[in-house]
Amino acid sequence: MNTTHHGEPDARLIAALTGADSSIRLRAALSAGTRADPLLLPTLIERCAVEPDFFVRDMLTWALCRLPAEITVPRLRTELGSETAQARSQALHTLSKIGDGSAWPAVSALLHDADDEVALSAWRAAVVLVPSGAERGLAAELALELGRGDRPVRLGLSRALAALDEAAVAALEAAAAGTDPEVRAHAEATERLRLDPDSGFTLASELAKRVAATGPDV
């Protein structure tokens, strides 16, 4: 492996990963993934929590996915308990890419995280990692978040529920029959998206809001 003679990670690569220039950090993350050196794991994890550039974060995730899951998954599960929202969100994203089902309990514990970006990442990861037979339970938990947040948050939740397909029907029907007009509108828009993924969420959402506010045409 490309390490120092003392069994330590490459100091120059670590310096590049933490440098001021995002293009240099991007190349360093690519190099880290190419080398797949387990000694870089702590640095890669730490950078995920603070890296401001989306493309560099994505490359850091790729580099982590190149390492053995038996060493990355436990560290990522620990990150899910971080007080830093980005650390939790990026750990969730990386776990979804690794696809190790052992992370499911820790992932499902963040479905109702107060931070929208963390919750979005948890919803996406949960759909990937949900054990067979637990899809309806997941849909019921996700449905509790209907009506939350701005359009990107709502669209992310709708996509997660739509990905569960038939397992989400009962939860969506219950939400659509509720008393909260925002929840009803979101549930209806989600059902339309589930039935027709190409229909466009915005149109479905606006129509659902009108239905929720005025009742269906008769």
Q: What is the mean pLDDT of the chain?
A: 90
Q: What is the pLDDT of residue 10?
A: 87
Average pLDDT over residues 2-24: 80
Closest listed residue to residue 167, CA positions, set 130, 200, 139: 139
Query: Does position 218 have pLDDT exceeding 60, yes or no?
Result: no
Distance CA 164, CA 155 (A): 14
Average pLDDT over residues 35-64: 96
CB atoms within 10 A of CB 74: 13
Map tokens 């929590």 to a residue: 49
Query: Does position 195 have pLDDT exceeding 70, yes or no?
Result: yes
CB atoms within 10 A of CB 157: 23
Distance CA 148, CA 134 (A): 23
Q: What is the pLDDT of residue 203?
A: 55
DSSP symbol at 131: P
Q: What is the pLDDT of residue 200?
A: 64
CB atoms within 10 A of CB 202: 11
Query: Does position 53 have pLDDT exceeding 70, yes or no?
Result: yes
**Which is higher by pLDDT, 98 or 6?**
98
Query: Does position 62 have pLDDT exceeding 50, yes or no?
Result: yes
Closest listed residue to residue 44, CA positions, set 78, 21, 24, 67: 67
Query: Does position 84 have pLDDT exceeding 80, yes or no?
Result: yes
Closest listed residue to residue 123, CA positions, set 151, 100, 155, 150: 155
CB atoms within 10 A of CB 167: 18
Query: Does position 204 have pLDDT exceeding 90, yes or no?
Result: no
Query: Does position 162 have pLDDT exceeding 60, yes or no?
Result: yes
Tokens standing for residue 121: 């990442």
Average pLDDT over residues 173-182: 94
Confidence of residue 210 (pLDDT cuts 50, 70, 90): low
Q: What is the pLDDT of residue 174?
A: 97
Query: Does position 92 have pLDDT exceeding 70, yes or no?
Result: yes
